[in-house]
């Protein structure tokens, strides 16, 4: 069951490190069953990283042929190249299968995300002008983006909303969605409807590493894109690392995480429910409570056991809590804040007497949820900010996905003759110090009395 430690105990750091480094360990080590699977497919045991590199190599070399082969071997789905692209008829059929209340919720979430992303979109500032020199800062949308939507195990209509809408608000012309098909080749109706409502231009039946490779390098059926975004499992995350540079990526969004800072005023029912809301995602999901109240810690354990017994996803949640669940009893709120910043969690809830004051002191978190009536689930589905957030401690330097991740910044520089003359001495000094004579000459040549040619020039 979930572990409980005090910050004063020697094993505190050990328990904490086991959670923080879970992805790093998995990148290097495979289970015996996984090794047997890779031997069956590739003819030899491979590490997760080697599997990813092999699949990417094959997709680059063989294109659609590799996509179809891996879809058959890994997903158990037989497709032809003509089956890869989802048709308008497929989407129409999906709309007929989605209940009216779900369609209404999808549309409400889409509108909330759209309005919030419009609110935070960066606007080009006024030109910077200084003594005859002008610099324009121009923000332009990317031309094409690929959105990866996890599938097979269920429908995830929230993910296309959280990724496609920010891209469309930015002005991206072509948004491509890839998502793995079920064994019968179908994609969950809710996922298709959400993707269309969000503004997807193309949708393809392909998942896993092969989908990421197709988006980055292109195949006969799937044209390449400029950026690949979206969450996924370990293999998808490793694939995004591998293709970075060929295409841009958003961030490394691995197994879900929640850390809750709570004091004696917190309701144990709420805390337990919120921890379980993330634990049910994945056996590798992490759920941590950091509290200054030993009484709350004990009460939360009791509540987790009671709620877990009634949970349809209890098997997954139980495994996640056994492996990556932790309750930490801290001496002070200051200590709890320090632990949260050290963890840099994907989701940080603050349920204390003064949540806003505590939240203002947090430095590292993907998203922060303040107060007892702001469960993390509102961020997952309806609030408007994207739920594609950094995990594994990367919130120290990554931000959650937003409209601004789909904009490129370009500087447009213009100098007058007088402005260039004013900085000629400075250009000359720096260029000379760096040993770049041609740099210096490219400025001095515009001022004949200053320029000293180094070779034969044009005869006068």
Q: Distance between CA atoms of 460 and 458, rounded to whole angstroms?
A: 6
Mean pLDDT, the chain, integer? 91
Given a contact cutoff of 8 angstroms between Cβ atoms, the answer to whether 394 and 364 are in contact is no
Q: What is the pLDDT of residues 433-449, one digit of tens each?
A: 999 999 999 999 999 87
Residue 16 has pLDDT above 90, yes or no: no
**Domain residue limits, the chain:** 3-23+254-395, 81-250+404-408, 418-460
Spatial CA neighbour of 165 closest among 218, 107, 207, 213: 107
Q: What is the pLDDT of residues 227-269, one digit of tens each?
A: 999 988 888 989 999 999 999 999 877 788 999 999 999 999 9
Written as six digits, the tokens of 291 are 């509290």
At the second CATH level, the architecture of 3-23+254-395 is 3-Layer(aba) Sandwich (3.40)
Q: Give the full edge-to-edge strand order of the sheet including 325-329.
A: 3-6, 325-329, 286-291, 257-262, 347-351, 367-370
pLDDT band at 459 (very low <50, low <70, confident <90, very high): very low
Q: Phi and psi for 370 in degrees, rounded to 5?
A: -100, 130
pTM across the whole model: 0.89
pLDDT band at 25 (very low <50, low <70, confident <90, very high): low
Is there a shared CATH topology between the 3-23+254-395 domain and the 81-250+404-408 domain? yes
Beta strands, E only, 142-191: 144-148, 174-179
Catalytic residue among 346, 349, 376, 387: 346
What does DSSP assign to residue 405? Answer: G
Catalytic residue among 347, 349, 376, 387: 347
Told to judge if 346 belongs to the known catalytic residues of this protein, a careful annotator would answer yes
Told to judge if 439 belongs to the known catalytic residues of this protein, a careful annotator would answer no
- Cα–chain-centroid distance for residue 402? 10
pLDDT at 10 (0 to 100)? 73
pLDDT band at 28 (very low <50, low <70, confident <90, very high): low
Q: What is the pLDDT of residues 294-322, one digit of tens each?
A: 999 999 999 999 999 999 999 999 999 99
Q: Give the full edge-to-edge strand order of the sheet including 248-249.
A: 202-205, 174-179, 144-148, 227-229, 248-249
Q: What is the pLDDT of residues 92-140, one digit of tens each?
A: 999 999 999 999 999 999 999 999 999 999 998 999 999 899 999 999 9
pLDDT at 451 (0 to 100)? 58
Q: What is the pLDDT of residues 334-356, one digit of tens each?
A: 999 999 999 999 999 999 999 99
Residue 29 has pLDDT above 60, yes or no: no
pLDDT band at 44 (very low <50, low <70, confident <90, very high): confident
Q: What is the pLDDT of residues 376-403, one digit of tens each?
A: 999 999 999 989 999 888 899 999 999 9
pLDDT at 399 (0 to 100)? 93
Tell me how far CA of residue 231 lies from CA of 249, 333, 367, 408, in angstroms: 11, 32, 16, 22
Spatial CA neighbour of 247 closest among 265, 218, 261, 227: 227
Strand pairing of 286-291 and 257-262? Answer: parallel
Instruction: Domain 81-250+404-408: state its class.
Output: alpha beta
């Amino acid at each position: 069951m979930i572990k409980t430690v005090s910050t004063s105990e020697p094993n505190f750091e050990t328990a904490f490190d086991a959670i923080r480094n879970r992805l790093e360990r998995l990148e290097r080590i495979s289970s015996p069953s996984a090794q047997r699977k890779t031997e069956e497919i590739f003819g030899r045991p491979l590490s997760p990283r080697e599997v990813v590199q092999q699949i990417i190599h094959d997709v680059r070399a063989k294109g659609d042929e590799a996509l179809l082969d891996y879809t058959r071997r890994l997903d158990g789905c037989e497709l032809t190249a003509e089956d890869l692209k989802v048709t308008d008829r497929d989407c129409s059929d999906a709309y007929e299968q989605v209940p009216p209340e779900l369609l209404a919720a999808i549309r409400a979430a889409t509108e909330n995300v759209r309005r919030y992303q419009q609110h935070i979109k960066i606007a080009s500032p006024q030109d910077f002008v200084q003594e005859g020199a002008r610099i324009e800062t121009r923000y332009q949308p990317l031309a094409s983006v690929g959105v990866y939507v996890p599938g097979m195990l269920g429908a995830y209509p929230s993910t296309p909303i959280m990724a496609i809408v920010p891209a469309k608000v930015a002005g991206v012309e072509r948004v491509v969605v890839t998502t793995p098909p079920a064994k019968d080749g179908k994609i969950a109706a809710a996922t298709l409807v959400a993707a269309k409502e969000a503004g997807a231009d193309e949708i393809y039946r392909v998942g896993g590493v092969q989908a990421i490779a197709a988006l980055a390098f292109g195949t006969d059926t799937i044209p390449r894109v400029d950026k690949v975004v979206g969450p996924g499992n370990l293999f998808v995350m490793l694939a995004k690392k591998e293709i970075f540079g060929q295409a841009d990526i958003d961030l490394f969004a691995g197994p879900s995480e929640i850390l809750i800072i709570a004091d004696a005023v917190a309701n144990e029912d709420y805390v337990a429910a919120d921890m379980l809301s993330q634990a049910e995602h994945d056996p590798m999901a992490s759920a941590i409570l950091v509290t200054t109240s030993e009484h709350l810690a004990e009460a939360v354990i009791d509540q987790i056991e009671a709620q877990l017994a009634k949970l349809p996803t209890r098997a997954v949640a139980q495994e996640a809590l056994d492996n990556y669940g932790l309750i930490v009893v801290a001496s002070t709120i200051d200590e709890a804040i320090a632990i949260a910043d050290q963890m840099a969690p994907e989701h940080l809830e603050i349920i204390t007497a003064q949540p806003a004051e505590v939240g203002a002191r947090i430095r590292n978190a993907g998203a922060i949820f303040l107060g007892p009536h702001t469960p993390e689930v509102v961020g997952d589905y309806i609030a408007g900010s994207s739920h594609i957030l950094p995990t594994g401690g990367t919130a120290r330097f990554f931000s959650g996905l937003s409209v601004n991740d789909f904009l490129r910044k370009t500087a447009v520089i213009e100098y007058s003759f007088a402005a260039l003359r004013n900085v000629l001495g400075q250009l000359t000094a720096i260029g000379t110090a760096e040993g770049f004579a041609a740099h210096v000459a490219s400025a001095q040549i515009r001022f004949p009395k200053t320029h000293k040619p180094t070779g034969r020039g044009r005869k006068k």
